[in-house]
Amino acid sequence: MAMQNPEEIKARIVEQMRTGQVRFTVHAHQEMAEENFTLDDVFEGLSSARLLEDYPEHKRGSCALFGGVATDGRPVHIVCTTANPVLIIITVYEPKPPKWPTPTQRKG
């Protein structure tokens, strides 16, 4: 499957956030608590986000990894669905070395 149009994905996600069509997995809630990210951080991160990786064949359906900036200025990565009627936030974390030498560059 071809990579989706990043602008279309972003517009859909922003609209889903605006209309409250957002759900979080238990894993996302756990990661947010461990990393001290709030709902505002996730929404700000997605609003400022750039599409980093597209996963059209994900087990939850089409998903993508977005890199953005939280309300406190920390980088935040958010994996979420990209084609569902409801936006599902799958995980949220701060990208850190060694896996992420920079917030947008995965090692290897």
The domain spans of the chain are 6-93
Whether residue 1 is predicted with pLDDT greater than 60 in this model: the reply is: no
Average pLDDT score over residue span 56-85? 92
Please give the pLDDT value at position 6.
Answer: 84
> 26: number of CA atoms within 13 Å, CB side?
0
Mean pLDDT over residues 77-103, rounded? 94
CB 103 within 8 A of CB 95: yes
Q: Give me the phi and psi of 91, to 5 degrees please.
A: -155, 155
Q: What pLDDT digit, counting tens, does each position of 17-29 carry?
A: 999 999 999 999 9
State the CATH class of domain 6-93.
alpha beta
Q: What is the pLDDT of residue 72?
A: 96
Rounded mean pLDDT, 44-61? 89
Q: Which two tokens stand for residue 40?
A: 């505002």
Tokens linked to 88: 């599902």
Mean pLDDT of the chain: 92
Tell me how far apart the alpha carbons of residues 11 and 33 are, in angstroms, rounded to a whole number.
27
